[in-house]
Structures are given as C-alpha cells and as structure tokens.
A = this chain, B = another copy of it.
C-alpha cells in the first residue's frame, strides 16, 4: 500500500487538517492542543503545526490561563469569532431591522425602526440606510468590516440581488437592492426572500432546529412560505419556490381580507391595524371577531394544506406577526389541517416571531462565509478585509 500519495495529496491533506482544527475550535470553549488533536482526529504534532499557522494568520489566539490554576497550566486556544463580521437586514412593510453578528453568529447589536407601508422606494431606502448606519455604530464597527451582508425583502429576487417582483412594497419591483446596500458595506451583498430567511432562522435558533423537512409559514398582513427540505433551504430553480399564494383557489390572496374588512373596528382605523383588534376581540369571545378569525384560518389553512400534502414535512412552523396571536389561531388552524391532510404534521408556534427574518439574514450571510472560507476546497487564507 505504499506509493499512493502524490505531491498534491499532501497539500490537500494539510488543508483538510487545518479545517479539522478550525471546526474543533469553533463554537467551543477554549481548548488545549491535546483536546483539539482528539476532536480533530489528528496527531498532536500535526495539530501543533496547524495551530501555529492559524495563530500567525489571526484565526486563532491563546487565552489567558484560568486564574488560580496550579503549576504551569496547558495553553488554551480559541477561535477568533471577531476576526470578521456579518450584517443582516430585514426590509419589511412596517419595520426595518438590522443585526451585526460575529463569525460565530453571536448578535453584537440590533437596531430597528418603523416605516409606513405606504412610503415609496426612496423614503424606504433612506430608513434602511439609517438603520444600517446606527446598527454598525451600535456594534462599534464600520461597513468596511462586514465580510458578508444578506438583505431580506418580500417578493421575488434574482441571483444578482435585484427585486424582480414585489406586490407588498410600493415602487419596489425593479430595485437593484444588492447594488444599493453595497454602497454601505464591503464584502458580498446577498438578497433573499424574507419567508425563506425566516425558515432558515427557525432551523438555526428556532423551533425547527431538529427537523430536516419544514414548512415555515409567515402569517401576517401578507402570507408567505419558506421550505426546508432535507435540512437545506429550498429556493427553486429560479428562486421562486413557496409562492403557492399566487393560486386564488388556495385562499392566501383573500385570507387577510377577512380580518381587514372586520366590521367591529372603530371607524377610521387603518385597515392594517384591524387584525390586532380582531385577535384581541376574539380573545374576549366576541362572536363577530371569532367568525372573522375562523374565515381567515380556513383560507390560511387551505394553502398550508397544499404545501403539507405536497411535501409531507416533519414540522410546520407558524411564524410572522400573527404568530403572536397563536392563542386564538393555532387550534382552529390545526383542526383545518387535520380535515384536509393525509398526515397532519406537528404544528409549532415560532418563538422568534418578527425577529426571524433578520436572524435568518445573518445565518444566510454566515452560510455564505462557511461555503467560501471554512470548506474543503476553499484554501483557507489569513483573515482579510472583505473585497480584497
């Protein structure tokens, strides 16, 4: 069995060893060389070799020995999660949110600001610029330090980061969102649909952490869906998956109208604010409100049933703004699903609610870095400012 290693194999092996050590340190408390060697499945000399290089490159640093330890304690190392940063932005109809996180996904600062659903492109982008600037400042960072940024928007986006179609936001269709945000930060700027990013967040830090196949439902003033299939976000061939709402027969177009058109709201109430009043009245047992909720749930469940029947997911996550009213929605929703589906999956309320989208944007930006930095074949180099 000798003679089977060519020269290229050795540098490839070196690279795999480097990544094994990085993986053994990331998301872990500081570790000794011996602990790293065991976790990475490498010999102690090989581990030491790799760690020395990672330390020189700035990926890894020694931590101070624990106070009060006797004798000469073994050196411990940690992965420098603050070697780089990512930014997640959620541009919603009512709110713009931004999060700055380190390479381990720790959120270092979050910022949000309300915005009227009626404002046009320029005004909304001005709010975005402000929220991003304040979030960066709050985290003590600059746009030049961001290694990757993901921006969430409703509607369809293309690979270049352009909004191909948005019915929810005025003057939004045709906007080159990636280009706009690129003026604020360094590094790649990715744009993705908000429901999809919320689904991603649920598998990361939400209720779908242990599920491989998930239908995420974004319930709010609009209804959307994000699909996790075999543990991965399913985008579709032209990034147009989850758009079941386009089929009038499946109820999502009219679902919210049962709430917006509720007759029990005081005259002059903004139609967008009626939903909250309906849920509150239903909670008190108001009959007209309960009827409106029942009609909403029936149409909402129709589209949801189509997704469940198509995919047979392990889990349905009920998310979005309306998930805060799960106490009046979830039980009738489960009953409607049971009426229509062959196998009714577990239905769980999102614990992230409106924060899911921005959190998913952070995860998405981190995934981009994982793919390009911490993956076999990436050829891990010293941390560099993005864009260089």
- Interface of A with B (CB < 8 Å)? 1-4, 6, 10, 13-14, 17, 42-46, 49, 156, 165, 212-213, 225, 227, 229-230, 232, 234-247, 249-250, 302, 305-307, 309-314, 340-343, 345
Contacts and interface: CB of A to CB of B under 8 A. Distances in A.
A239 B345 CA distance: 12
B236 A1 contact: no
B313 A237 contact: yes
Contacts of A247: 302, 305-306, 309, 340
Given A3-B43, A156-B342, A312 B249 contact: no
Contact of A250 (B1, B165, B212, B306): B306
Contact of A310 (B4, B302, B307, B345): B307
A45 to B, nearest CB: 5
Contact of A306 (B42, B239, B244): B244
17 contacts: A1-B46, A2-B45, A3-B43, A3-B45, A3-B46, A4-B42, A4-B43, A4-B45, A230-B230, A230-B234, A236-B312, A238-B312, A238-B343, A240-B342, A246-B342, A247-B306, A307-B310
B249 A343 contact: no
Contacts of A42: 4
Contacts of A238: 312, 343
Contacts of A2: 45-46
Contacts of A156: 342
Contacts of A345: 237
Contact of A302 (B229, B243, B249): B249
